[in-house]
Amino acid sequence: MASDSVDTPQVWDTARYQDQHSFVWQYGTALIDLLAPQPGERILDLGCGTGQLTQALAATGAIVSGIDADAAMIATAQQHYPELSFAVADACNFRVKQPVDAIFSNAVLHWVKPPEQAVQAVVNALKPGGRFVVEFGGKGNVHAIVKAVETIRQQENLSPWYFPRIGEYAHLLETYGLEVTFAAMIDRPTPLNDGEQGLANWLKMFGNALLAGLSTDDVEVLLREVEAFLRPQLHDGRQWVADYRRLRLVAIKSSA
Ligand code: BEZ
């Protein structure tokens, strides 16, 4: 999902997203297990991207709809899964016609700022007792990649992402009336597809803000420098392995 509050908006290439970055939703199936959707439950997939996890949720018998801020993602999702309901909507101010039993969100909320607005929108959309099951990048996520780019570019604060600690995010959820029943920070080194191209492809796919202001030629020069810098740390001899850290939580909207 695209954020609307960074200087360099993320531009999504849906074909590349699906071809080379399918791990984004493949890892998301563990989060579906945590949600434990029940047949007939109304579930919103917040930041559904191209819809693969929305479809997996629907396959459990739940009544699922997906929203994403990116119109191209939604068009692709609707084309692949015409029987499901998708809409373009911003995580910070979406509304639902009818409160839902659960909101599911995988690998999205690190793009969304301010996080308070997204949490408020989630709370507004949940039934009392409804659950929010979420995973996204936690504190330290892709730290080595960001630091490498900042070091080589001799610039600071290039990261556009929100990667909170457990305590920070749990506090935010509680402030808005959710009770946190599960929280974990999970180191998940993530192999990148496409062998030698993996890191460069990841940066081109997700790292608009890190590469901002560079010409096409300068991007290629930077990518070669980043690869040389990170090879000892993030290349296992066969492939690039990104230093992902996931923040995973379950929270329940208070009935009171
Ligand atoms: C993530 O899923 O953790 C992530 C993806 C793209 C950019 C930053 C983080």
Q: Which atom of ligand 1 is closest in space to residue 245's alpha carbon? A: 3
**24-38, 95-109, 210-224, range with the lowest pLDDT:** 24-38
pLDDT tens sequence across 84-97: 999 999 999 999 99
Ligand 1, pocket-test mutation among 1, 17, 199, 206, most atoms within 8 A of CB: 206
Q: How far apart are CA 173 and CA 166, in angstroms?
A: 11
**Around 86, how many Cα atoms within 13 Å sit in the side-chain half-sphere?**
27
Average pLDDT for residues 39-54, to the nearest whole number?
97
pLDDT tens sequence across 178-205: 999 999 999 999 999 999 999 999 999 9
| pTM, 2 dp | 0.92
**Residue where the block lists tokens 């080379």:** 20
Average model confidence (pLDDT) across the chain:
94
Q: How far apart are CA 15 and CA 34, in angstroms?
A: 29
% of the chain with per-residue pLDDT over 90: 88
Tell me the CA–centroid distance for residue 137 and ligand 1, in Å.
6
The verdict on the CB of residue 142 being under 6 Å from ligand 1 is yes
The verdict on the CB of residue 1 being under 6 Å from ligand 1 is no
Find out whether 62 and 43 touch, Cβ atoms under 8 Å.
Answer: yes
Per-residue model confidence (pLDDT) at position 24: 76
% of the chain with per-residue pLDDT over 70: 95
pLDDT tens sequence across 148-186: 999 999 999 999 999 999 999 999 999 999 999 999 999
The verdict on the CB of residue 47 being under 6 Å from ligand 1 is no
Per-residue model confidence (pLDDT) at position 101: 98
Superfamily of domain 14-141+161-192+243-253: Vaccinia Virus protein VP39 (3.40.50.150)
Q: How far apart are CA 228 and CA 47, in angstroms?
A: 34
Q: Which atom of ligand 1 is closest in space to residue 207's alpha carbon? A: 7
Q: How far apart are CA 230 and CA 233, in angstroms?
A: 5
| Cis bond upstream, residue 114 (ω within 30) | yes
Q: How far apart are CA 233 and CA 143, in angstroms?
A: 12
Name the closest-CA residue to atom 4, ligand 1. Answer: 137
List the domain boundaries for the chain: 14-141+161-192+243-253
DSSP 8-state class, residue 214: -
Q: What residues contact 26, with CB distance under 8 A and at least 6 apart?
A: none
